[in-house]
Amino acid sequence: MVSKNQIKLITSLEHKKFRQKNKLFIAEGVKVIQELLLSNFELQHLYVTEPIFEELNKKNITVISESDLKKISCLSTPNNCLAIFKIPNEKPIKNTGLIIALDDIRDPGNFGTIIRLCDWFGVSQIICSEQSVDLYNPKVVQATMGSLARVNVSYVNLSDHLSKTKQMVFGTFMNGENVYKTELPASGILVLGNEANGISKEVEKTIQNRLSIPRFGAIKKTESLNVATAAAVFLSEFKRSEN
């Protein structure tokens, strides 16, 4: 059974200001929760509709009905479990290797997918502009499929941070150098821009190398690539250059 106060708290965590106030976030689904349990994230409580995660201390688990799960779930079709984790303190930025910088990424699905891509390609650091979507948005957490546990995400004044870095800064544009014909280093910062407006003028001033993915269609009228799709291509090319 979930009390009214518990329901009120859990549903409030859909909103950033209450996540920040309570230092808590929501994770749903066995895969996501299992990955977070195996990491350094601290579980506050787990709600399940059937006996799973039996290795956990019973005081941290409440068995609830499917109807109660629907009341607290952020999903249109709830899974069989929902967990509340504590938001950890932000870790120092890792200034080595390839780093992804996100300039005002707003779509939770895109952000979560980019985190998952970074995990796949062995990129352990993402830096985000302060306007980018919140890391602990439930839709971001869901889209990471647990990769949230292995990628460090930091929020900074992006133009200021990039202007002070000693690393080479690459930006993704429609009119940059062909990424397939560019010699890429093993380390550096790759900037991806806002879904609608691309990289901002302030951040663009800090970029030393403009890269693009060429269009191969006969007509070449496609306006642009989805930012997460573009991230996959650029990450693949940067990592391919290491071999």
Q: What is the pLDDT of residues 124-153, one digit of tens each?
A: 999 999 999 999 999 999 999 999 999 999
Burial bucket for residue 193 (CB in 10 Å: 0-12, 13-18, 19+): buried
Digit-coded pLDDT (tens) for 54-86 = 778 788 899 999 999 999 999 988 889 999 999
Give which of 60, 30, 23, 28 is closest to 43, Cα–Cα.
60
Q: Give Dmax (Cα) for the chain.
A: 62
CB 127 within 8 A of CB 99: yes
Provide the pLDDT for residue 160: 97
Adjacency order of strands within the sheet including 188-192: 152-156, 125-129, 98-102, 188-192, 169-178, 209-212
Kind of pairing, strands 188-192 and 98-102? parallel
pLDDT at 219 over 80: no
What confidence tier does 1 reach under pLDDT thresholds 50, 70, 90?
confident
- The CA distance from 117 to 102, in Å, is 13
pLDDT at 224 over 80: no
What confidence tier does 189 reach under pLDDT thresholds 50, 70, 90?
very high
Digit-coded pLDDT (tens) for 43-54 = 999 999 988 887
Digit-coded pLDDT (tens) for 76-128 = 888 899 999 999 999 999 999 999 999 999 999 999 999 999 999 999 999 99
Provide the pLDDT for residue 223: 67
Q: What is the mean pLDDT of the chain?
A: 93
CB 92 within 8 A of CB 182: no
Bridge partners, 100 (sequence order): 126, 190
- pLDDT > 70 fraction of the chain, expressed in percent and rounded: 97
